[in-house]
Amino acid sequence: MAAPENGGEAGVRQNSLLDGRLELWQPEHGYRSAIDPVLLAAAVAAAPGDRVLDVGTGVGTAALCLALRQPECQISGLEIQPDLAALARRNAEGNGCGERFVVLVGDLAEPPAGLDPGFDHVMANPPHQAVARGPASPYPGKALANREGASGLADWLDFCLTMAAPGGSVTMIHRADRLDEVLAGLTGRAGAVVVIPLWPKAGEAAKRVVVQARKGAKTPLRLTPGVVLHEADGSATAAAQALLRDAAALVA
């Protein structure tokens, strides 16, 4: 990732992802995209012409990573924070995706008009921290992005499944210690579940998992070998570099 620049503008900073191919404006303080949305987008196998919904799009990181890898899909983003939605639109224009990435402001509990079910793919990087666990961030925007509010994980899963077309995919990245909750939310509504562990280093416990399912499918769950992100010395593995620098697909 390149060094951030603020361009003389208070409150926001610009960073690059995918080896400089994606430029993102983000809040200078509070929530800032890390590798989770990049890995989330890498797992979505969108085809030309597919319609994709990014729930909780933030500044558009996952959506734009996917748009870069698959330039012929159409992406909608739903974001509850108007300031982040504005940055997502700015990032879409700045990366030449203004016509293919539409950002809507709203809450998944009360989705805005015009956001109708039927997406080929729905992806989400929801707040990973349950309300009762740990202190909230002093930055309101970061707290809202990282800590569940009125809508918990089950609500996010319900919304994603509702918005997906029959047979459409739902892909989520979440904490490994909440995998049981993710699977419970999919039970009876989706199948062909694929779990991709993300190992910090070989031999260490996974802290994140990518979970993908097909709405209405009946195929049994499959656990993949996953991806080791770092070598013993802390450097990125070849597999991680392919995902984070080269926009490679995370093949399930």
User: Which pLDDT tens digit goes with each residue over 78-127?
Assistant: 999 999 999 999 999 999 999 999 999 999 999 999 999 999 999 999 99
Q: What is the DSSP string of 230-245?
A: E-TTSPBPHHHHHHHT
Residue in 234, 188, 183, 233 with CA at minimum distance from that of residue 209: 183
Q: How confident is the model at residue 35 (pLDDT cuts 50, 70, 90)?
A: very high
**pLDDT tens for each residue of 184-240:** 999 999 999 999 999 999 999 999 999 999 999 999 999 999 999 999 999 999 999
**18 with 65: CB under 8 angstroms?**
yes
Domain layout of the chain by residue ranges: 12-244
CA 177, CA 206: separation in Å to the nearest integer?
A: 9
CA 44, CA 139: separation in Å to the nearest integer?
A: 31
Q: How confident is the model at residue 24 (pLDDT cuts 50, 70, 90)?
A: very high
Angle at 235 between CA 232 and CA 237, to 5 degrees: 85
Phi-psi map region of 200: left, alpha, beta (phi>0 left; psi -120 to 50 alpha): alpha
Q: Where do runs of H (alpha helix) occur along 59-202?
A: 61-69, 82-94, 140-146, 153-163, 179-186
Q: How is residue 228 written in tokens?
A: 């080791």
DSSP 8-state code for residue 137: P
The sign one gets for the Cα dihedral 141, 148, 199, 252 is negative
147 beta partners = 129
For the whole model, what pTM was predicted? 0.89
CA 32, CA 61: separation in Å to the nearest integer?
A: 10
Report the length, in residues, of the chain: 252
Fold of 12-244: Rossmann fold (3.40.50)
pLDDT of residue 143: 45
pLDDT of residue 181: 97
Section 153-181 average pLDDT: 98
Residue in 135, 121, 3, 129 with CA at minimum distance from that of residue 62: 121
> Does residue 134 surpass a pLDDT of 90?
no
pLDDT over 90, % of the chain: 82
